[in-house]
Amino acid sequence: MRHITPSQLQQLLQDGGQVQLLDVREPWEFDICHIQNSLLVPMGQIPVHHEQLDPQQTVVVICHHGIRSQQVALYLHRLGYSDVINLDGGVEAWARDVDLDMPTY
């Protein structure tokens, strides 16, 4: 499992990087704010719904602060996902460092 900062993720997306953005927060959190093109699969549903992801594609896991996403990233890595990245600081850091207009909670 690797880590990425919000600024690095922004650059990767701007450069056309082929990544799956996986948001593991709860629906009410996702409704407040999320990174565009993120797939919402709450952390508790990952064991049942992880097959929605391509295990050969780079997966960037996102949560509010980066703690839940790190746990999910480790879980996916153990399941055999080849390239899993945790967004350090989560959407809170994204709102602070990249998208200053993003609502926060």
What would the DSSP string read from start to end of the chain?
-EEE-HHHHHHHHHTT--EEEEE-S-HHHHHH---TTPEE--GGGHHHHGGGS-TTSEEEEE-SSSHHHHHHHHHHHHTT-S-EEEETTHHHHHHHHT-TTS---
63 part of the active site:
yes
Question: Which one of 63, 73, 87, 91 is the catalytic residue?
Answer: 63
Residues serving a catalytic function are 63
